[in-house]
Amino acid sequence: MKALRITEKSGKAVFCQIDTPSPTATQIQVEIKACGLNFADLLIQNGTYQDIPAAPFTMGMEIAGVVSATGESVQGLKCGDRVAVYAGQGGFAEHGVFEADRAVRLPDSMSFEQAAAFQIAYGTSHMALSHRARLLPGETLLVTGAAGGVGLTAVEIGKLMGATVIAQARGADKLAVAERAGADHLVEAGEDLRERVLALGGADVVYDAVGGDAFRAAFRACRPEGRLISIGFASGDVPQIPANHLMVKNLTAIGFYIGGYQNFRPEVVHDSFATLFDWFEQGKLHPHISHTLPLDRVFEGFDLLRERRSTGKVVITMDN
């Protein structure tokens, strides 16, 4: 079968023909229908991601498809079931094998494309805002990079949790996307973020996937007892936090990486996904996919992320 592989450490992604994998006792084999793109896919290719599998491996972190075989110890799933899996690898291929306990059965109303765009972005935002930052109704949430894959879901979930949401993004089109997701106030990326946020009363919680100048401005725009969640550094600039300023304003700096929870507290991930899929079925969440491309055009998808030309998620399908 065809698969997009990293064949050596820090190597370039290339298409390969490999044998279709068979499941072990605890795994399922999935006929993959769609795979979501993530900014982490770019970092993996650069060798700068914090959790890169040992080469060789098939890229693609989150998939949706149909169970095509099950290992002898698997219970609760059968051939023909529609599932999503956040596995961290194995997604850019026609078939993949994944641990059964990582699979989530899809609601009938959710398409494969929606499912492939769902788990990492929504899971990251929900767990960061609810489990880590303890966002409360009536608080003010500032989201940087608010039209991106995780940023847009933070806007949507923050609003759903009862917050007033300030969204920062670059350009009118991206700000309009954030506004449709529920943002109450919009800040153009070229404006003085600190000044605008303070004029609105300051931020109780900052959700930052950008880093650099955006983080530094947001840091200075926090109210006393504010919480700053660091999700990533799309700008390429990892900011340094002045501890004395944390002390003076009684601020809390919070790191969040959903993959870590998969390893040391998987029950938190499981509970979050259960809540999110329930919200989807209730019509409360609306995954935004700006581009859907076939596997042959996956490098175009990488360029969309690299050049900041997408909003929400980019999804790769296995149908040409």
The radius of gyration of the chain from alpha carbons, rounded to an integer in Å, stands at: 20
CA dist list (Å): 150 to 30, 117, 121, 190? 26, 10, 5, 21
Tell me the fold of 2-118+287-317: Quinone Oxidoreductase; Chain A, domain 1 (3.90.180)
Q: What is the pLDDT of residues 134-190, one digit of tens each?
A: 999 999 999 999 999 999 999 999 999 999 999 999 999 999 999 999 999 999 999
CA 107, CA 255: separation in Å to the nearest integer?
31
**Per-residue pLDDT at 10:** 64
Q: What is the pLDDT of residues 215-268, one digit of tens each?
A: 999 999 999 999 999 999 999 899 999 999 999 999 999 999 998 998 889 999
CA 301, CA 92: separation in Å to the nearest integer?
12
The 3-state DSSP class for residue 92 equals coil
**Per-residue pLDDT at 262:** 84
CA 220, CA 194: separation in Å to the nearest integer?
6
The 3-state DSSP class for residue 88 equals coil
E strands within 71-198? 82-86, 95-99, 103-105, 140-143, 164-169, 185-188
Q: Is the pLDDT of residue 9 over 80?
A: no
Question: Phi/psi of residue 199, each to 5°?
Answer: -65, -25
For the chain, the farthest-separated pair of C-alpha atoms sits apart, in whole angstroms, at: 61
**Per-residue pLDDT at 320:** 54
Entry pTM: 0.94
Range list for CATH 3.90.180.10 in the chain = 2-118+287-317
Q: What is the pLDDT of residues 24-60, one digit of tens each?
A: 999 999 999 999 999 999 999 988 888 889 999 999 9
Q: Which amino acid is at 37?
A: L
Range list for CATH 3.40.50.720 in the chain = 121-258
CATH of domain 121-258: 3.40.50.720
What element of type H or E holds 3? strand 2-6
